[in-house]
Amino acid sequence: MPSLKAIKTRIASVKNTQKITRAMKLVAAAKMKRAVDAAVQSRPYSEEVTAVLSSLMARIGDNEHPLLKPHDEVKNAVVIVLTSDRGLCGGFNSQLLRKVDGWLFDNLNIDSRFESAEVVIYGKKARDHYIRKTDINVGQTHVDLHPSQFSDLSAKLISDLTERFVGGEVDEVYLAYNRFVSTLNQEPTVEQIFPLTSLAGDAEEPEHLTEFVYEPSQTQILSDILPLFLRTRIYQVFLESEAGEHAARMMAMDGATNNAKKVIDKLTLQYNRARQAAITKELIEIVSGAEAL
């Protein structure tokens, strides 16, 4: 059995750890509140841009816009992976990376849909994960992300990908991120953004836009609004990933704090038992000595 001093030292160590996890939980909760507010405030704009785009697609129908037209041959794909820069957030990063790895394996090995796939990385956790995988083609890498950079990063990313897609260098582009569902649930998601086949041919005109007249022309406005829609979509994904990271870290630190309390209670009980046993032993020795005299 460990000595009383060893148990007492371990209790103090766990209490110090508990203080750290409790502080990290409070910090994550404050950051999550700001991130969720930013994501929620951005949604009306994102939804309205999507509504206008749906209205245009419903009116125009089949369109030969290069961002809507699939390539004849699909050989090269790009996967944009959004993870966090820091850890201690439960399975937030690991679940997404496992999903992306499975998606890449399915499309490159099982059905061989693509000849090659390039991974564009946002976040240190994805960078560290794919650096160890020598068979994965890693493209641009962005780390130490801050919410103030999200708008510029979104615009630059869409500009680069649009140029590569229209030029035929890339045939399809996918976005992998954690969709913020609630504080307790962040859903790993892989969705296609180039070409925008989900918008072509299936769009329905929103009721509140049926009376609108578009000038100078619907086709010209469509050409202008498609990049705006993509930038807005990527920006919204950045915000939701940020909110999901802080929510996952808050829950992870809450669980760690509760576990630390359980360990402290268990060690305290062990300490009290050991102390009681030591006192009982001393009393027995005293009584035995007295009887011997």
Beta bridge partners of 81: 121, 176
Distance CA 145, CA 166 (A): 28
- Is 89 tagged catalytic? yes
- Is the domain spanning 30-250 CATH 3.30.930.10? The answer is no
> Which residue, 120, 72, 59, 129, is CA-closest to 96?
129
Among 35, 57, 80, 89, the one annotated catalytic: 89
Residue ranges matching CATH 1.10.287.80 in the chain: 4-26+252-292
Mean pLDDT score, 271-286: 85
pLDDT value, residue 56:
74
CA distances from residue 142 to 117, 130, 179, 235, 263 in whole angstroms, order as listed: 18, 13, 20, 15, 39
Class of domain 4-26+252-292: mainly alpha
pLDDT in tens, 145-167: 998 999 999 999 999 999 999 88
pLDDT value, residue 291:
76
The mean pLDDT of the chain is 86
Distance CA 72, CA 273 (A): 75
pLDDT value, residue 63:
63
Residue ranges matching CATH 3.40.1380.10 in the chain: 30-250
- Residue located via tokens 């650096």: 131
Mean pLDDT score, 126-150: 89
Which pTM value belongs to this model?
Answer: 0.84
Higher pLDDT, 111 or 148: 148
